[in-house]
Amino acid sequence: MSNVSVTTRPTQPRPQSGPAAHQRRARPARHRDDGRAGYVFLSPWLLGLALVTAIPMLVSLYLSFTDYDILSPWSDIQWVGLDNYRTMFTDDPAFWHAVRVTLVFALIGTPLKLGAALGVALLLNRSFRGAGLFRGLFYLPSLLGGSVAVAMIWRSIFDRTGAFNVFLGWFGIEGKAWVNDPSTALGTLILLAVWQFGAPMVIFLAGLKQVPVELYEAAEVDGAGTVRKFLSVTLPMLSPVIFFNLVLETIHGFQGFTSAFVLSGGTGGPVDSTLMYTLQLYLKGFANFEMGYASAMAWVFLLTIGLVTVVLFRTGRFWVHYSDGDD
């Protein structure tokens, strides 16, 4: 199994010398039939690309300029031009609530999650017996945490009579109904996301193993202490992995749906405080049947995620250090 992970570990750019070079050599006539075979093998994927991705994207773009509730026949579709977009930006407070909630969730949750992941990875990055067991146990929430079941449990823990308040009671602190209070409901969602720090932690651990020991030895010779070594060796060497995790977790964060749906009982409440963007999109499309409006929201979402990714890659140039690159 290890070769699966080794070949795609983010810190290792795919070597150009191996299979690719060989390909060039082994080109002669026996590959002639590859052309047709290639498309035969690719045909399910091509069909999927057209049917499940490309055509729906175009339909979605079209629908976003229309007023369409799914219940009436196709002929009832009303072309409304940019009305959906105009309403969204100027006349729909819930839209802006959703944008705010999603931004807070992603921009606060992601750094906290990555911080926890890096911190625990540093603790585990030492060979001792049982290290593998700890790694597995910390990873477990990542495997289970996205489920409806865990979100239901989370809801009970942070309820008025829930376990968290009993715990606070031991210290004489009066708790409250955390999930029903608009000022703290989103906090419980963020906590649930941070709790699932195991997946990025595993990736950090793999990255830490790649840092050459010589660098630490050289730093020690130069008199660097623990903090100095972390700042001057670990962080720069780990920056490609940090970047990889940051991009994935940010995009992932924007798409949080299940926990918000469950903790708010499918409403995004209390007072829109957990109205994640995807939840609002779902409510517009599948509760109100405003398919046109929901499509417009989907396109704004897609463009925003694209923009955020581009921005991340742009800023990445300034702090991501590739040791095998030119800089």
d(CA 15, CA 222): 33
Provide DSSP, 26-94.
T-SGGGTTHHHHHHHHHHHHHHHIIIIIIHHHHHHHHHTTEE--TTS-GGG-EE-TTHHHHHHHHS-HH
Near another protein by CB under 8 A: residue from 107, 163, 307, 311:
163
For the CB of residue 182, give the shortest distance to another protein in the complex, in Å: 19
Contacts of 145 by beta carbon, 8 Å cutoff, 6+ apart: 192, 193, 195, 196
Question: Is residue 13 involved in binding another protein (CB under 8 A)?
Answer: no
d(CA 56, CA 250): 25
Q: Which two tokens stand for residue 121?
A: 């990875």
Question: Is residue 171 involved in binding another protein (CB under 8 A)?
Answer: no
Site string for another protein, 123-162 (x = CB under 8 A): xx-x-xxx-xxxxxxxxxxxxx-xxxxx-xxx-xx-x-xx
Residue appearing with tokens 């660098």 = 215
Closest to another protein by CB, 204 vs 326, is 204
Question: Is residue 114 involved in binding another protein (CB under 8 A)?
Answer: no
Strands (E), the chain: 66-67, 78-79
Closest to another protein by CB, 239 vs 258, is 258
Near another protein by CB under 8 A: residue from 16, 17, 26, 173:
26
Binding to another protein (CB under 8 A) within 38-57 occurs at 38-42, 44-49, 51-53, 55-57
Binding to another protein (CB under 8 A) within 196-235 occurs at 196, 198-200, 202-203, 206
Site string for another protein, 62-81 (x = CB under 8 A): -x------x-----------
Closest to another protein by CB, 186 vs 298, is 298
Answer yes or no: are the C-beta atoms of 79 and 65 closer than 8 Å: yes
Q: How many CB atoms lie within 10 A of CB 233?
A: 18
For the CB of residue 222, give the shortest distance to another protein in the complex, in Å: 25
Query: What is the H or E stretch that residue 306 is in?
Result: helix 291-319
Closest to another protein by CB, 73 vs 223, is 73
Q: How many residues lie near another protein (CB under 8 A)?
A: 115
Question: Is residue 317 involved in binding another protein (CB under 8 A)?
Answer: no
Stretch that binds another protein, among 58-66, 178-186, 226-234, 318-326 (CB under 8 A): 58-66
For the CB of residue 68, give the shortest distance to another protein in the complex, in Å: 8
Closest to another protein by CB, 218 vs 265, is 265
For the CB of residue 13, give the shortest distance to another protein in the complex, in Å: 12
Nearest Cα to Cα of residue 113 among 239, 192, 197: 197
Q: How many CB atoms lie within 10 A of CB 156?
A: 12
Question: Is residue 243 involved in binding another protein (CB under 8 A)?
Answer: no
For the CB of residue 221, give the shortest distance to another protein in the complex, in Å: 25
Near another protein by CB under 8 A: residue from 16, 17, 19, 127:
19
Phi and psi torsions of 33, nearest 5°: -75, -5
From the DSSP assignment, how many helices (H) and strands (E) are in the chain? 17, 2
